Chains A and B, each alone.
Chain A
Amino acid sequence: MAMMPKRVKWRKSQRGKIRGVAQRGNKVAFGEYGLQVLSGGWITARQIEAGRVAATHFLRREGRVYVRIFPHKPVSAKPLETRMGKGKAEPAYWVACVREGAVIYEIGGVEEEIARGALMRVANKMPYRCRFVKRRHGL
């Protein structure tokens, strides 16, 4: 099931701007290998779920997949053939805001080649260019 918050304070949010680069969440922290986005923007809950499913299928239940982002932001969309105006539309889907450098998926417990294959499949499902990264041990 696509991710979305269980409880929210406000149903609708403004679009906002994504400024700067990832100052945190930019390191592989849970698994051994990760997928890092090379540009910032929105990633929808469906895209996140598609990536998770692709990685899980590729790994055939081996290893562990970590999803490092969560779609906190509701996006409104007006229905088709509706006139403009009459207030803000109802929330249609949820997105995660990511900045350049954010590690969005991680994989642990498998060999590098398998992790690379899985994360490359995930990268194909992402709306931005991504790169494969390894955990930095020590310095």
Chain B
Amino acid sequence: MAETLTLKAEARDQIGTRAARAIRAAGRLPAIIYGHGEGVQTVTLEHHEVEVALEHGAHTLHIELAGKSQQCLIKDVQYDHMNATPVHMDLTRVDLDERVKVTVGIELRGTPKGATHGGLLDLHMSAIELECRVTDIPEVVRPIVTELEVGDSLLVKDLDLPEGVNPTGDPNERIVTIHAPVTAVSDDEATEESEDGGVEPERIGRVRKDEEEGKSGS
């Protein structure tokens, strides 16, 4: 599990697009804290600190707000249209011994034997939902795929997860498959008919008679 970072939060009373934009322009990130029967608290966090935490695969944070520290789980992060910069963060209050559902990334380890023999590695799941204690959340799941041959699949039930960490989804769901090499159409053949505009697509629906005549006449 990644080390839990401590971030200083400031309460914010202004909500809405304009206020959020002003906060972002000032180098801070609007966020919201909720859960555990307490009230909803809108806060701002230091943008750079949040980015560092996310970069290090953090799932939980210590949030210091008005001299009080609380353990929070990162529930959701919204990114901008370039999917690069966080624009908002949802945090939920948790206890250290609480069991939670989190989505953890999957990072494959090794090169499958099948892939070296011309097979194609197809990753079906890039993240998996797990249920575990807050203190046991893995930073990332790293299955070793070196033994996979062509035609083999790695299933959710094959994952070697730490004790107390359970996947919530279907245990027979595929994570990775090694497909047999595909004999694709060669690019030379594919580009033979690359003259676009040569053939027109079929028209859907009734075509007006005069339009059809005009087309054949031109």
Among residues of B, the one whose C-beta sits closest to the C-beta of A24 is B81
* Interface magnitude class on chain B: 35 or more
Say whether B103 faces chain A, with CB atoms less than 8 Å apart.
yes
Say whether A1 faces chain B, with CB atoms less than 8 Å apart.
yes
Tell me if A2 and B115 are in contact (CB < 8 A). no
* Interface residues of A, dominant DSSP: loop
Say whether B123 faces chain A, with CB atoms less than 8 Å apart.
yes
What is the CB-to-nearest-CB distance from B162 to chain A, in angstroms, rounded to a whole number?
Answer: 17
Chain B residues whose C-beta falls within 8 Å of the C-beta of A94 in the assembled complex? 196-197
Chain A residues whose C-beta falls within 8 Å of the C-beta of B193 in the assembled complex? 1
Tell me if A138 and B204 are in contact (CB < 8 A). no
B contacts, CB < 8 Å to A:
54, 57, 59, 74, 76-77, 79, 81-84, 103-107, 115, 120-123, 126-127, 140, 181, 184, 187, 190-197, 199-205, 218
- CB under 8 Å from chain B, chain A span 88-110: 90-94, 100-101, 108-109
Tell me if B140 and A2 are in contact (CB < 8 A). no
Chain B residues whose C-beta falls within 8 Å of the C-beta of A16 in the assembled complex? none
Known: A46-B196, A138-B104. A23 touches B81 (CB 8 A): yes
Say whether A27 faces chain B, with CB atoms less than 8 Å apart.
yes
- CB under 8 Å from chain B, chain A span 30-67: 32, 36, 44-46, 49, 53, 56-57, 61-64
